[in-house]
Amino acid sequence: MPRRQFIGGAVALGLAASAPDAGATRTSPVAVTAYGKVRGRTERGVHVFKGVRYGADTAPNRFRPPRLPEPWTGIRNAFDFGPACPQRSTDMPVSEDCLFLNVWTRGLKDGGKRPVLVWLHGGAHASGHGASPLNDGTNLALRGDVVVVSLNHRLNVFGYGYFARLGAAAGDSDFDYSGNVGHLDIIQALKWVRDNIAEFGGDPSNVTLFGQSGGGGKIVGLMAMRAADGLYRQCLTMSGQHVTASAPLNATIRAEAYLKTLGLTPAQVGDLKTLPVDKLVAALGTQDPLVVRDKILFAATLDYKTLFRHPFYPDAPDETAQVPLIIGNTHDETAAFMRDLMIANDTTWETLPQRLAKEMLVDMSPEYVIAHYRQWYPQMTPTDVLRAAATAGRSWRPHLIQAEARGAKNTPTWMYQLDFGSPVHGGRLGAYHGYDIGLIFDNVRVPEANCGTTPEEIAAAQTVADQMSTMLIQFARTGNPQTPGLPSWPRYELSRRSTMIFDTMSRIEDDPRAQERQLFATVPYTKPGT
């Protein structure tokens, strides 16, 4: 993004979030936060506050823990989403001044003590924001009289670039927490929820974290961080595949590669604090030195200051073992990462081994895997096998490891699998990675949900959305996902491996796809690059 466009977009949005609005009326809802008053809008009976500040501008504090906002006088308009963290590509204005959150609620100052749902967006710790139409909280607030919160925080190098070891060698302590300041931003946002959400009709003692992909990964990271203790009551992860965090030596190798792209030596690490934002963003195109297929990967780091253990290695953390947790995944996760191949449908038995080898992310003979799938599922095409085996080896495996670690400790854990697939592109993407977002938010009619366009397609999607969104709301209220509209849902235990299969006719399966699970369990798994 050109520097002028970058700065202009951020400044314009910042003004829109704080300047007086001639269209504001006396009936616009006003809430009092610990830092000042904010004015929102009421839409379909839901009070919506967008771009509410929970932290100070991070630019003067780059790579360091977040600071609290400066209090303000008067009333700030909260009509527009705040800017996202700078990133390689986004449809949102971006700025280092990105610590903003959004609230959807049906009540204000009414003592309602509504369950609070805090959404953490995906994007692999590298990209994303809390303003997608997919995660608009209006329908959830209407359906279950809950308070929904989404937020932006620091990402990629700004939130997870681990420069602590290089900084220590250079005598610079400003980088001590750099590998996890994105998580520290989230913790500060959760403290804002604790201290302010009663004003919005929410119950600060009943906060549910839910998030998809990187958002789910952030949740399991928070569950391993003692600094987050007491800020949430239950969690739901959707395709949150993190078993291990970035290890400090590997994270330092990445830091050195990133500095090299910028033309800096490790001794010049301090220059990162003042380099222009556009240069830091451009360097995110650096080839990752550990995972050849990817650009530079920055994620939560085992820094022994805020994160002292891996999320699910060697086991599930004892400290959060009794926190209710739902572990969700989709049947065809990796179709999202192989979108063009799925749509083209041109994989042959001859090209399948090479293509599968690139996608499994575990070191197994692709020919051996393919032979098993052809024996188990003789009706599958080469494209079908590619999608199924890549999902089992790459995306489904870490979810199973998480569930097994929790099940071994007799914890309140439930597992689901979304089988209901998208009808777009002739259904070739199936239930792809991220398809459950629009369903669980009950937002099946927004184009981004990819739930189809015909009345029949929308009706089918709505059936699944009714089940998933009601389940989420029940879980937020009680810590148990069981609803009258679902079959009896047992906890995940190793003796049964009970899994809710969400579909137009949802059902419980014990140990679904058992032979696939057993095949990939014969080789070790760690999250690539950690």
- Most confident stretch, 8-22, 106-120, 285-299: 106-120
Q: What percent of the chain has pLDDT over 90?
A: 89
* Amino acid occupying residue 9: G
Write the class of the CATH domain 3-229.
alpha beta
pLDDT score of 529 more than 80:
no
The domain limits of the chain are: 3-229, 335-520
| Sign of the torsion angle spanned by Cα atoms 419, 422, 427, 431 | negative
In this structure, what token pair is assigned to residue 134? 């997919």
> What would the mean pLDDT of 285-310 be, rounded to a whole number?
92
Write the class of the CATH domain 335-520.
alpha beta
The four Cα atoms 78, 79, 80, 81 give a dihedral, to 10 degrees, of 50
Residue with tokens 């990629």: 156
> What would the mean pLDDT of 366-376 be, rounded to a whole number?
97
Determine the pLDDT at residue 292. Answer: 79
Do 81 and 120 form a contact (C-beta atoms < 8 A)?
no
pLDDT score of 382 more than 80:
yes
Interatomic CA distance for residues 34 and 71, integer angstroms:
8
pLDDT digits (tens, 9 = 90+) for 174-186: 999 999 999 999 9
* Amino acid occupying residue 479: G
CA angle 239/433/502 to nearest 5° reads 75
CA angle 93/136/147 to nearest 5° reads 120
Residue 337, class by beta-carbon neighbours within 10 Å (0-12 exposed, 13-18 middle, 19+ buried)?
Answer: middle
Residue 350 backbone phi and psi in degrees, to 5: -75, -40
Determine the pLDDT at residue 240. Answer: 85
Measured CA distances, 522 to 369, 394, 396, 498 (Å): 12, 14, 14, 21
Q: Can you point out the beta strands (E) in 308-422? A: 325-330, 413-418
pLDDT digits (tens, 9 = 90+) for 23-75: 444 469 999 999 999 999 999 999 999 999 999 999 999 999 999 999 999 99
Contacts of 217 (CB under 8 A, 6+ apart): 124, 125, 211, 237, 240, 241, 242, 299, 300
DSSP 8-state assignment for residue 79: B
In this structure, what token pair is assigned to residue 501? 């299969």
pLDDT score of 19 more than 50:
no
pLDDT digits (tens, 9 = 90+) for 143-152: 999 999 999 9
Q: Please tell me the number of Cα atoms within 13 Å of 289 on its side-chain side.
A: 13
Interatomic CA distance for residues 67 and 176, integer angstroms:
15
Determine the pLDDT at residue 526. Answer: 78
Contacts of 143 (CB under 8 A, 6+ apart): 442, 469, 470, 473
User: By C-alpha distance, which of 404, 53, 80 is closest to 243?
Assistant: 404
pTM over 0.85: yes
Same CATH topology for 3-229 and 335-520: the answer is yes
Do 132 and 448 form a contact (C-beta atoms < 8 A)?
yes
In this structure, what token pair is assigned to residue 138? 């209006």
Residues with catalytic roles: 213, 333, 433
